[in-house]
C-alpha cells in the first residue's frame, strides 16, 4: 500500500507538519488455531504444521540426544522446534489435517478456510533448491518462458498445490448460499485414508473420497474431480447441530464409520454413527440396512465393503452435558472380539468410554472444566503397549491432563482386550491450549489462541512449581508439576486494549549538556523524539494467560557489563591469532593515549588478585572471564590509535596499529613490533619521498589481507601493502594528492562474487581467509561527494586512480549518467531541511549485506549448507555529520575495477548526531554445517549516534517472493534484574559514540554468539549482546487475570490496568483499597511501576461493577471561591479517570455507573526524600473523588 499524505495548513501544530498513512503488518498473528503432527519436509522428519490465521508454519522437531535428554537440560541452548517454513494463505485457516498417499513417503497437508475454500499441498525439494540457489530474476524469467511448468507452482514457495477450490463450485444440489454450520467447520479423516468428511453446512456432511493411487511426484492437477481426490458429494443428515465428529477405527471389510456428536432441540447431547458409502455417494444411516449390490466389475480384486452388524453400530444417548470432543479408540486386538472400535467422550464433568459392540461403558469423574484439545501419546518409532492407550488433554484453565485407557490384555498377549479402566491425572499447567501435539521423548507442543504457545517436557518425577511458594490453601497437585517449559513462542493476541508510552533518551540523565549540542533546537528535538519513539503497551490474553505486553520497535542490546569510562574516541577488537574465533584484546583510543583491555580467565585473574592481597584461603573457583588492562609491547600506548586490526599475509600472523605518525606491525605470538613506517622516515617508499615535508596521519583504514590506506594532512593519500617476502615489511604502492582534506576512508572487500564462504572470509569450520579489496572509498571535507579509487593498477585506472565520483545530493550525477533509482525517506521531525546537502561524509562502509541477516517469514533449508543460497548485495553506506545515512547499491566486477556504478540511492534520518558505521556479523550460526533457521546469520552495519541503528537486509532469499530490502532497527538497552524470577526487563534508548564488535566465549554464555558488541558514550562503556534482529520486540508481564483496559500515566510513572478476576480476585499482590467496603467479585484496577513492573497498588471495584474506560488526563483545579466559568485556576494536575458500569443480571443495558478520579504520585516531584525514607512511602495511589452516572461510562 502506497503512503498517502495531506498538505498541512500554516496554523497547524508544527509537530504535525505532515500527516501520512502507511498500513503494513508489523507483527504477524501468533494465535494457533490448530496443529498437526506429520512428515511434511522429509520422510523421516517429525514436523509440526501450525495454522496461525492466514499463515501456515512448519516447525521441525530436533530429537534430543542421550546427553541432554535428562531433567537438567535447561542450559541447553539448542532450539528443539525451529521454524523452517512459513507460507502465506489467502484466507483464515479453520481446519488442518495430514494425508499420506500410497506412493509417497511424505505427508501432504489438507486445509480449509473460513470462506469454504480448500487446498492440498506438499513440499517440493526441487523447487526449494531452485529457490535457494537461484535468484528471483532467474526464476521469474524461467517462469515466463514456461508458465505451465509445475516447478513454479506456489509462486516461488517450495510447495506444490495438488488440489484447490471452493466447496460451492462443484455441486449443483446444494450450497450456493447455504447456511454455514453453527459449530463448524469440522473435519475428520478415515484412519485407512479412504475419505475425508467435512461439516461445512447445516444438515450436510461433505465427503471427499481419496484416490490412494495418486502419485504426488508426477501429478499436479486442480479440482476435486481428478487427481488426489475423486468426485466429492454432499450427504444429507438428520442431525442438525453437530458438535464433533470422528471416524471410528474399523477393519478394511467395513465401510468408513462416521461417528457424530449432536445436540437436539431440548439441549440433550447424543452420539450416533453412520456409514459412508463412497461408491454410492451417500450415507448408510444407523437404523438402515445396506442393500447388497452386484459388483460392476467381476474382475475387481477388492471385496465389497459392508456395514457392521446392526447391534454393533455405535450409539449412545443423553451423554454428559457440555461434551464437545470425540476420541476414536481402536478395536481390541483379539481375533474373537469385535472389529469395530469405540469412542471416548470428553465432557465437562466426566470422561466416558463407550463401545456398543463390546457392550461396555466406562466413566471417570473429573473436576468441572471445559476440555479444549487432545492428542495421542505415541513415540515416533510406532511402538506402543497394546494394553495401554494414553492421551494428553488440555482444558480452558491451561492444565494438561493425562488420560489413560487400560485394556484387559496380559503381558503375554492374552485377554479379550476390552477397556477396563479410565484414569485421568493432572500433569501441570501451561498456556490454555487450542492444539496439543506430542512430538516424542516427552516433548509436547502446546498451541494457544489466548497466550504464548509453548514447547514443554513431561518429567518423570514432579518438581515444585516455579514461584508458587508454600501456600497452605493449595493442594499438593497445585504446588508440584510434571511439566517443564522449554521454549515459548510469542502471541500478542487477543489484544483488547493498548496505549502508547513515550520513550525518553536515557542519555539525557547521563549528560546534561548533550541536549544543548544543537542549540535552540535541542529541546524541541527532544520533545519530538519522545513522540516519535514510543512503546506500544497492550492488554493481551485471557484468564491466567492475561498479560501486559510492551512492544518496541528496534533491536535490544542485553547489557552484560558497564563501567564508567570517559573520553573514548575509538575501539577495535583484536584476536590473538588470525584463525581464532574469540577476540583477545579490546583496543581503546583516547585523545592522548591508547589503552588495551585483555580477556583473562576469571580464575587466573582472581588468583592474581588474592596473591596481591595476601589472601589465598578462598576455595571458590570463579567461572567465565574478565576484562583487565594489559599491555602489548609493540603498540604505542602514548599515542591515540587511528586504526587497529588483525592481518594475515602468507604465513605471517600480525597485529596492525596506525597512530598519527606511524604504521606498526606486531607479531601476534610475541606481541613485539616487526616493522614500522613513519611519516618522518618515509620507510617503505620505494619510488619517491614525501617531498621532504613530513606530515601527520589524520585518517586510516585497513583490512585483514594487509591492505592499508592512510591520509596525511593536506589531502595526501598513501596506499600500502604488507609484503611477506622473507620478513614482513610495509611496501608503499601508490600515492595521490587531492584538492581537499580527507574526512573518512574505507576499504572493506566485497563478498558477493565469492563462490564459497571460506574464500569470502567467513568462519566455516575454523578456516578463515582474508580477501583483498579492489577499491577504496574516500570522503572529503567541504565536498558533498564520495570517491571510489582503484587499488588494482591497469592501463585505464592506475593505482589510486578515480573509478567513480558519487554526488551525495538527491538526483545527483554519479559519473555514469545519474542514478537508476532514487528513494528518500523524509522524516516529519527533520529540523535540518535541505542543510544535509552541505554536510560532509563522516564515515564510509563498503559492505556485502546478506539477506539472511533477518528473515522472520523466509524459508531456510537445513539440507543446503552453503551460505551462497541467499542474495548478497554490495552496498556503499555513507554516514553524514547531521545524522543522515545514505546508501547505494554498487555494481562492479571482481576481476577488474572498471565499469563500477551505483544505483538505488536511499536516504534516511537516523538522528541528529554524526554517524560512525561499524560492520559486524550478527549471530552467525554454522552448526553442523547447516544454517539454523531464523538465526539471522549475515552481515549487518551498526550506525552510531543519538539513535544507534542496525542496518540489515531482508527478503529476496529462498522462499521469498520479494526483492532484497534495506531495513533499519534502532537499538535499545535491555537491563534485566537477575534477582527477579520473572526476568522482567526494562528498555531504554542509549547514545553511542563509538562501537566495535567483540566476541568472547569466556565473557558470554553463548559460545556460538557473534553478535556481541562493545559500545561507549561520553561517560560509559558497555558490553552486551544484540538480540534477534527484527522489527518488533515483545516483553511480557504476567497478570494472572483477564485485562480489559490499559493506560499509561506518565506523571505517576505507572501502568494502569483494568482486570477481570474470579471470585477470589485473581492474582494477589499490592495494597487493597476497598471502595464501598463490600466484598467484590474480583474486578479491579492495578497499578504497576513502569520500570520494574512491581505492583504499587490495587483498587477493587464493587460487586457487578465492570470497567468500561480508563484514561490518563490533565484536569484544571479551580478555586472554591471562584465560579467554574471563570478563567482563574489554581493549577493543572494529572489524574487517572476510570469509567465503570454496573452489569446487573436483570438489566439488558446498564443504568448505573461511576467515574473514579485517582491521583498517582511518582515519588520524585515536589518531595525531598530523606536518607532513611523508603521509596514506597513517597509513591502513592490515592482515590480522590467519584461521581455516579445514569448509565455506563464508555
527-555: string of b/e by CB count within 10 Å (b at 16+)? ebbeeebbbbbbbbbbbbbbbbbbbbbbb
Local structure of residue 869 (DSSP, 8 states): G
Extended beta strands in 761-857, E state: 775-780, 785-790, 802-807, 822-824, 841-850
DSSP type of residue 508:
H
Cα 883 to Cα 827: distance, rounded to the nearest angstrom = 12
Residue of 266, 174, 162 lying closest to 214 (CA atoms) = 162
What is the gyration radius of the CA atoms in the chain, in angstroms?
Answer: 35
Q: Averaged over 781-799, what is the pLDDT?
A: 84
Residues 183 and 206: their CA atoms lie apart, in Å, by 15
Q: What value does the mean pLDDT of the chain take?
A: 77
pLDDT band at 961 (very low <50, low <70, confident <90, very high): very low
Q: What is the mean pLDDT of residues 919-933?
A: 50
DSSP 347: -
Rounded CA-CA distance 807/818 in Å is 9
**pLDDT higher at 824 or 342:** 342
Query: pLDDT, tens digit, for every residue of 979-999?
Result: 444 444 556 678 899 999 998
Question: Model confidence over 1104-1149: pLDDT tens digits?
Answer: 999 999 999 999 887 766 665 555 667 889 999 999 999 998 998 9
Do 466 and 479 contact (CB within 8 A), yes or no?
no
Sheet holding 195-199, edge to edge: 186-189, 195-199, 204-209, 233-236
Count Cβ atoms below 10 Å from residue 28 Cβ, excluding itself: 15
Confidence of residue 133 (pLDDT cuts 50, 70, 90): low
Beta bridge partners of 528: none
Beta bridge partners of 159: 123
pLDDT tier, 424 (very low <50, low <70, confident <90, very high otherwise): very high
Only one residue has cell 482386550, namely 417
What is the model's pLDDT at position 986? Answer: 57
The C-alpha atoms of residue 223 and residue 119 are separated, in whole angstroms, by: 9
Pair type for strands 83-88 and 93-99: unpaired
Between 943 and 623, the more confident residue is: 943
* This prediction's pTM: 0.77
CA distance 1105 to 1144: 8
d(CA 569, CA 573): 14
Sheet harboring 495-502: ordered strands across?
495-502, 534-540, 547-553, 1032-1038
Burial track 638-669 (b if 16+ CB lie within 10 A, e otherwise)? ebbbbbbbbbbbeebbbbbbbbbbbbbbbbbe
Question: Residues 35, 498: contact at Cβ < 8 Å?
Answer: no
For the beta carbon of residue 742, count every other beta carbon within 10 angstroms: 22
Describe the strand order of the beta sheet including 697-702 as a list of residue ranges. 697-702, 707-712, 716-723, 729-737
Partners of 754 in the β-ladder: none
pLDDT digits (tens, 9 = 90+) for 684-721: 544 444 444 468 999 999 999 999 999 999 899 999 99
- Counting Cα atoms < 13 Å in the Cβ hemisphere of 1077 gives 0
At 535, is the pLDDT very low, low, confident or very high (cuts 50, 70, 90)? confident
Residue 336: the pLDDT is: 55
Read off the pLDDT of residues 442-488 as tens digits, 9 standing for 90 and up.
999 999 999 999 999 999 999 998 765 555 556 666 788 999 999 99
Q: Is the Cβ–Cβ distance between 941 and 845 less than 8 Å?
A: yes
Q: Is the pLDDT of residue 958 over 50?
A: no
Q: For residue 621, what pLDDT is reported?
A: 55
Each residue's pLDDT tens digit, 1062-1080: 644 344 443 444 333 333 4
pLDDT of res. 146: 43
Out of 5-9, 173-177, 591-595, least confident range: 5-9
* Locus of grid cell 594489559: 630
Total Cβ atoms within 10 A of residue 45: 20
DSSP state of 384: -
Work out the pLDDT band at 119, boundaries 50, 70, 90.
Answer: very high
pLDDT at 755: 42
Question: Where does residue 203 rank: exposed (0-12), middle (13-18), buried (19+ CB within 10 A)?
Answer: middle
Q: Are 207 and 195 in contact (CB under 8 A)?
A: yes
C-alpha cell belonging to residue 550: 510492551
For the chain, first and last CA: distance in Å? Answer: 33
- Quick one: cell of 480? 508440584
Does the pLDDT of residue 741 top 50, yes or no? yes
3-state secondary structure of 654: strand
In the predicted model, is pLDDT for residue 1100 greater than 70? Answer: yes
Cα 474 to Cα 429: distance, rounded to the nearest angstrom: 14
Evaluate if residue 814 carries a pLDDT over 60: no
SS3 assignment, position 611: helix
Q: What is the DSSP string of 222-265?
A: -SSSSTTB---EEEE-S--EEEEEEEPPB-TTBPPEEEEEEE-T
Quick check: 596 pLDDT over 70? yes
**132, HSE (Cβ side, Cα atoms, 13 Å):** 22
Instruction: Name, in order, each residue with C-beta under 8 angstroms of 237's C-beta and a sequence gap of 6 or more.
Output: 203, 204, 205, 260, 274, 283
Q: Are 994 and 642 in contact (CB under 8 A)?
A: no
Reported as a single tens digit per residue, the pLDDT across 325-381 is 999 998 877 655 567 889 999 999 999 999 988 889 999 999 999 999 999 998 866
Q: What is the mean pLDDT of residues 624-649?
A: 91
Q: Nine-digit cell at 51? A: 495454522
- In angstroms, rounded to a whole number, what is the distance separating the alpha carbons of residues 633 and 1033? 45
C-alpha distances out from residue 148 to 159, 216, 795, 975, Å: 15, 17, 50, 55
User: For 531, phi and psi rounded to 5 degrees?
Assistant: -75, -25
- Judged against a pLDDT cut of 80, whether residue 867 lies above it is answered with no
Largest CA distance in the chain: 114
SS3 144: helix
Amino acid at each position: 500500500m502506497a503512503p498517502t499524505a495531506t498538505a498541512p495548513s500554516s496554523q497547524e501544530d508544527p509537530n504535525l507538519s505532515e500527516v501520512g498513512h502507511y498500513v503494513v503488518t508489523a507483527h504477524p498473528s501468533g494465535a494457533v488455531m490448530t496443529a498437526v503432527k506429520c512428515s511434511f519436509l522429509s520422510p523421516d522428519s517429525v514436523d509440526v504444521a501450525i495454522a496461525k490465521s492466514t499463515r501456515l508454519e512448519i516447525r521441525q522437531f530436533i530429537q534430543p540426544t542421550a546427553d541432554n535428554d535428562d531433567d537438567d537440560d535447561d542450559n541447553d541452548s539448542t532450539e528443539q522446534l525451529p521454524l523452517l517454513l512459513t507460507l502465506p494463505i489467502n484466507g483464515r485457516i479453520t481446519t488442518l489435517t495430514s494425508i499420506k498417499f500410497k506412493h509417497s513417503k511424505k505427508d501432504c497437508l489438507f486445509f480449509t478456510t473460513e470462506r469454504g475454500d480448500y487446498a492440498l499441498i506438499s513440499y517440493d525439494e526441487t523447487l526449494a533448491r531452485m529457490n535457494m540457489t537461484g535468484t528471483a530474476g532467474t526464476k521469474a524469467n524461467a517462469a515466463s518462458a514456461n508458465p505451465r511448468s509445475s516447478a513454479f507452482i506456489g509462486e516461488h514457495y517450495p510447495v506444490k498445490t495438488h488440489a484447490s477450490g471452493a466447496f460451492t463450485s462443484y455441486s449443483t444440489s446444494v450450497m450456493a448460499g447455504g447456511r454455514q454450520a453453527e459449530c463448524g467447520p469440522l473435519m475428520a479423516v478415515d484412519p485407512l485414508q479412504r475419505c475425508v468428511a467435512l461439516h461445512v453446512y447445516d444438515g450436510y456432511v461433505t465427503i471427499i473420497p481419496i484416490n490412494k493411487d495418486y502419485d504426488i511426484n508426477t501429478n499436479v492437477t486442480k479440482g476435486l474431480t481428478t487427481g488426489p481426490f475423486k468426485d466429492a458429494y454432499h450427504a444429507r443428515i438428520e442431525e442438525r447441530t453437530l458438535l464433533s465428529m470422528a471416524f471410528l477405527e474399523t477393519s478394511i471389510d467395513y465401510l468408513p464409520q462416521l461417528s457424530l456428536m449432536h445436540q437436539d432441540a431440548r439441549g440433550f447431547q447424543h452420539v450416533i454413527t453412520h456409514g459412508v458409502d463412497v461408491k454410492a455417494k451417500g450415507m448408510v444411516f444407523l437404523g438402515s440396512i445396506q442393500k447388497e449390490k452386484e459388483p460392476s466389475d467381476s474382475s475387481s480384486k477388492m471385496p465389497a465393503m459392508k456395514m457392521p452388524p446392526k447391534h454393533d453400530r455405535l450409539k449412545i444417548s443423553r451423554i454428559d452435558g457440555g461434551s464437545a470432543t470425540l476420541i476414536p479408540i481402536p478395536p481390541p486386538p483379539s481375533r474373537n472380539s469385535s472389529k469395530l472400535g469405540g469412542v471416548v467422550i470428553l465432557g465437562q464433568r466426566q470422561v466416558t468410554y463407550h463401545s456398543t459392540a463390546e457392550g461396555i461403558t466406562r466413566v471417570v469423574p473429573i473436576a468441572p472444566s471445559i476440555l479444549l484439545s487432545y492428542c495421542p501419546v505415541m513415540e515416533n518409532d510406532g511402538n506402543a503397549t497394546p494394553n495401554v492407550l494414553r492421551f494428553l488433554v488440555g482444558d480452558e484453565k491451561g492444565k494438561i491432563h493425562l488420560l489413560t485407557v487400560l485394556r484387559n490384555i496380559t503381558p503375554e498377549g492374552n485377554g479379550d482386550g476390552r477397556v477396563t479402566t479410565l484414569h485421568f491425572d493432572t500433569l501441570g499447567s501451561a498456556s490454555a491450549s487450542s492444539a496439543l501435539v506430542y512430538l516424542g521423548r516427552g516433548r509436547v507442543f502446546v498451541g494457544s489462541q489466548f497466550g504464548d504457545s509453548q514447547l514443554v517436557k513431561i518429567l518423570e518425577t514432579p518438581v515444585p512449581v516455579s514461584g508458587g511458594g508454600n501456600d497452605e490453601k493449595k493442594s499438593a497437585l497445585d504446588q508440584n508439576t510434571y511439566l517443564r517449559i522449554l521454549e515459548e513462542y510469542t502471541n500478542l493476541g487477543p489484544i483488547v486494549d493498548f496505549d502508547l508510552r513515550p520513550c525518553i533518551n536515557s542519555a539525557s540523565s547521563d549528560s546534561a549538556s548533550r541536549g544543548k549540542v544543537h542549540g535552540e533546537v535541542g529541546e524541541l528535538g527532544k520533545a519530538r523524539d519522545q513522540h516519535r519513539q514510543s512503546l506500544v503497551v497492550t492488554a493481551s490474553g485471557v484468564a491466567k494467560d492475561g498479560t501486559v505486553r510492551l512492544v518496541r520497535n528496534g533491536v535490544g542490546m542485553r547489557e552484560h557489563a558497564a563501567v564508567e569510562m570517559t573520553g573514548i574516541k575509538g575501539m577495535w577488537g583484536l584476536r590473538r591469532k588470525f584463525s581464532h574465533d574469540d577476540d583477545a584484546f579490546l583496543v581503546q583510543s583516547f585523545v592522548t593515549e591508547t589503552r588495551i583491555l585483555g580477556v583473562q580467565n576469571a580464575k587466573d585473574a582472581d588468583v592474581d588478585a588474592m596473591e596481591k592481597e595476601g589472601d589465598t584461603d578462598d576455595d571458590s573457583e570463579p567461572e567465565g572471564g574478565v576484562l583487565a588492562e594489559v599491555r602489548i609491547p609493540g603498540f604505542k600506548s602514548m599515542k591515540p590509535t587511528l586504526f587497529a586490526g588483525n592481518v594475515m599475509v602468507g604465513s605471517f600472523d600480525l597485529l596492525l596499529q596506525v597512530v598519527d605518525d606511524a604504521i606498526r606491525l606486531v607479531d601476534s605470538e610475541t606481541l613485539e613490533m616487526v616493522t614500522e613506517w613513519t611519516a618522518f622516515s618515509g620507510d617503505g617508499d620505494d619510488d619517491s619521498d614525501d617531498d621532504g615535508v613530513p606530515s601527520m596521519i589524520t585518517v586510516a583504514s585497513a583490512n585483514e589481507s594487509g591492505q592499508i590506506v592512510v591520509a596525511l594532512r593536506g589531502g595526501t593519500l598513501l596506499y600500502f601493502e604488507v609484503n611477506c617476502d622473507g620478513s614482513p615489511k610495509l611496501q608503499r604502492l601508490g600515492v595521490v594528492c587531492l584538492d581537499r582534506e580527507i574526512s573518512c576512508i574505507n576499504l572493506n572487500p566485497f563478498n558477493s562474487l565469492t563462490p564459497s564462504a571460506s574464500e569470502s572470509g567467513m568462519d566455516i569450520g575454523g578456516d578463515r581467509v582474508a580477501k583483498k579489496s579492489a577499491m577504496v572509498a574516500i570522503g572529503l571535507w567541504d565536498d558533498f561527494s564520495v570517491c571510489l579509487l582503484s587499488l588494482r593498477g591497469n592501463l585505464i585506472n592506475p593505482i589510486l586512480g578515480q573509478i567513480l565520483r558519487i554526488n551525495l545530493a538527491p538526483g545527483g550525477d554519479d559519473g555514469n549518467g545519474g542514478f537508476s533509482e532514487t528513494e528518500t525517506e523524509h522524516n516529519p521531525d527533520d529540523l535540518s531541511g535541505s542543510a544535509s546537502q552541505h554536510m560532509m561524509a563522516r564515515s564510509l562502509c563498503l559492505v556485502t549485506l546478506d539477506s539472511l541477516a533477518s528473515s522472520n517469514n523466509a524459508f531456510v533449508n537445513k539440507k543446503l549448507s552453503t551460505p551462497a543460497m541467499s542474495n548478497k548485495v554490495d552496498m556503499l553506506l555513507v554516514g553524514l555529520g547531521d545524522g543522515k545515512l545514505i546508501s547505494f547499491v554498487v555494481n562492479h566486477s571482481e576481476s577488474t575495477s572498471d565499469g563500477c556504478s551505483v544505483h538505488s540511492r536511499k536516504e534516511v534520518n537516523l538522528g541528529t548526531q554524526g554517524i560512525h558505521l561499524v560492520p559486524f556479523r550478527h549471530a552467525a550460526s554454522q552448526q553442523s554445517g547447516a544454517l539454523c533457521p531464523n538465526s539471522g546469520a549475515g552481515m549487518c552495519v551498526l550506525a552510531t549516534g543519538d539513535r544507534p541503528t542496525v542496518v540489515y537486509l531482508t527478503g529476496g532469499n529462498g522462499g521469498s517472493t520479494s526483492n532484497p530490502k534495506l531495513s533499519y532497527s534502532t537499538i535499545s538497552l535491555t537491563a534485566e534484574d537477575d534477582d527477579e524470577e520473572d526476568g522482567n526487563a526494562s528498555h531504554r534508548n542509549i547514545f553511542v559514540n563509538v562501537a566495535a564488535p567483540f566476541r568472547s566465549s569466556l565473557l558470554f554464555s553463548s559460545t556460538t554468539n557473534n553478535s556481541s558488541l562493545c559500545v561507549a558514550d561520553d561517560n560509559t562503556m558497555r558490553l552486551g549482546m544484540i538480540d534477534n534482529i527484527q522489527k518488533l520486540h515483545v516483553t511480557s508481564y504476567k497478570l494472572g487475570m483477564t485485562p480489559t483496559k490499559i493506560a499509561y500515566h506518565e506523571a505517576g510513572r505507572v501502568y494502569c490496568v483494568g482486570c477481570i478476576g474470579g471470585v477470589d480476585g485473581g492474582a494477589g499482590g499490592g495494597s487493597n483499597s476497598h471502595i464501598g467496603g463490600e466484598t467484590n467479585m474480583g474486578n479491579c484496577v492495578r497499578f504497576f511501576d513502569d520500570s520494574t513492573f512491581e505492583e504499587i497498588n490495587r483498587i477493587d471495584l464493587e460487586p457487578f461493577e465492570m470497567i468500561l474506560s480508563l484514561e490518563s488526563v490533565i484536569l484544571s483545579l479551580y478555586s472554591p471561591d471562584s465560579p467554574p466559568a471563570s478563567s482563574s485556576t489554581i493549577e493543572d494536575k494529572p489524574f487517572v479517570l476510570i469509567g465503570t458500569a454496573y452489569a446487573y443480571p436483570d438489566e439488558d443495558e446498564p443504568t448505573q455507573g461511576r467515574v473514579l478520579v485517582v491521583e498517582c504520585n511518582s515519588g520524585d516531584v515536589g518531595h525531598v526524600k530523606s536518607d532513611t525514607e523508603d521509596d514506597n512511602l513517597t509513591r502513592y495511589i490515592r482515590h480522590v473523588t467519584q461521581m455516579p452516572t445514569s448509565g455506563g461510562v464508555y
